[in-house]
Amino acid sequence: MGLLLVNSRGNLMHNSDTNLRRAIGAMVAVSALFVLDYVVSIRYGGPRAGSAVHIAIAALSMITAGILSTLVFALRTRRRLRALSDKLRMIAAGDYTARADISTIDEFGELGRAFNSMVGSLSRARDLLIEKANTDSVTGLANHRYFQERLAVEFSRAARYGSPLSLLMVDIDHFKLFNDMNGHPAGDHALREIATVIAEQVRDVDVAARYGGEEFAILLPETCAAQAEILGERIREAASNRVFEQANPQCARLTVSVGVGEYPSHCSDRASLLRAADGALYTAKMKGRNVVATFDGESGEDPKPDPHKLYVLLHATDLTTIEAIAAAIDAKHGYPSRHSAAIAQLAAEVGERMGLSQEERTSLYVAALLRDVGQIAIPDSVLEKSDALSAEEMGLVEEHPTLGHAIVQKSPYMAAMLPAILHHHERFDGTGYPEGLAGDQIPLAARIIAVVDAYQSMAVDRPYRGKLDACTAQAEIRRLSGTQFDPAVVTAFLAALSDEVKKAA
């Protein structure tokens, strides 16, 4: 009866606390009247004393008392269930601090304890999921996504309070060679070891993350460049002293190169802080690796894209931008205008003759444009040398495909181009570099670029020789077929050249 009432306007009022209280109040009043009438009758010996009416009144009073108790219990039950419902809504909203009342020893107390145990388990499971979502599965450091989140937070804080914020970019030197010599399990073990080195050196407030591949990023709040450089040197030294027991004894050690950037001395925004540290890292690579380098821009000046436009390259998605970058590299190395574009175009034509799909030819075109981007690490004095190169200088030259591969692999858009960039200086007989691959082990795109690049390079003046005429250059390509070049590629290349001559005529 207190659970469903009709008000003066005829509206149903379901399960309201107000209705329950009204019902209880009405029953209390009725019960009190019955009891008072019965007491008066007994006290003054009225004519109905002891009659069936008074017995009925007593029974009705007992029934009323029972109903009152039930309503009181219902009201308390409703209040507790509503409180529990509120806690559930808090949890649904993501607040896992909600806890139920466990002060009683009845069923509600037991329900509250079970509820709290469930919430505790959910909270721990959520924390574990968040930790896994923010952690790199190989190294145990923070992953790239979490690093970017923390970079935004820390940069905002540094800008608000005018405090310094430094960034270290750490890259493992010659890691691909290490992987190839020892296998990927040993490579993963080495990544974990380097991650351990980093974790041992940083503070609790620092953010150490695997930025991608063999590159790590370390965010250093309230740290100037000089302090960051000291930390970078500690990491470099600790890594160089680490022995990797799972590795081949001939390649059981690894070194790292470190770049340092700082806000506000080197930049004014997050993107330029990354550019500063990344540019410093490339400086460290060009200094011979196993080096810590700090961004050398003027104080307060944002780091511009370097002369080779690497930052732009790594974020480029259109051929026009990539062609412009390739042209800038050609100009620095003394090649004529559109040298790389001509190589790329001819390589794509050879690829078409050899049955490559449109997508494969596009990847081949871009790879041909960027084939020598790694030469930015070679000093001009070596590239422009007219005499024979020393063994050390030749070593620098032979490293440029590996460095080019390392540069381009940082781009999220150019994975398909990497094999051709890395292997375009391999020789068909297995005597090339960087890995000494032979025959069909060399990716087809790399074999195509090798032929076209050699031919086009013969047609321009170089410090160490004069240019060759077309007939002499083609004869040289034929002579090297089967040793330096793939014979099938040479055949397709010469046919493509013949078609070009016919079109020109």
Active-site annotation, residues: 214
Are residues 221 and 163 in contact, defined by beta-carbon separation less than 8 angstroms?
Answer: yes
43-66 residues labelled b (16+ CB within 10 A) or e (exposed): eeeeeeeeeeebeebeeebeebee
Half-sphere exposure of 463 (CA within 13 A, CB side): 12
Tokens, residue 29? 């009043």
Tokens, residue 195? 């991650």
**Beta-bridge mates of residue 462:** 465
Are residues 198 and 218 in contact, defined by beta-carbon separation less than 8 angstroms?
Answer: yes
Helix (H, G, I), strand (E, B) or coil at 102: coil
Count CB-CB contacts under 10 A for residue 191. 23
Q: Give phi and psi for 483, each to the nearest 5.
A: -110, -70
Count CB-CB contacts under 10 A for residue 233. 14
118-127's contacts with Cβ under 8 Å and 24+ in sequence apart are 119/87, 119/91, 122/91, 122/96, 123/96, 126/96
Q: ∠398-373-426 over CA atoms, to 5°? A: 40
Count CB-CB contacts under 10 A for residue 123. 15
Tokens, residue 99? 């806890």
Q: Considering only CA atoms, which of 175, 176, 185 is closest in space to residue 245?
A: 185
The set of residues, in sequence order, having a beta carbon less than 8 Å from that of 79 and lying 6+ positions away, is 17
Q: Give phi and psi for 72, each to the nearest 5.
A: -60, -45
Classify burial at 397, counting beta carbons within 10 Å of its beta carbon; exposed 0-12, middle 13-18, buried 19 or more.
middle
What is the dihedral angle through the alpha carbons of 51, 56, 61, 65, rounded to the nearest 10 degrees?
140
What is the dihedral angle through the alpha carbons of 386, 387, 389, 393, rounded to the nearest 10 degrees?
-50
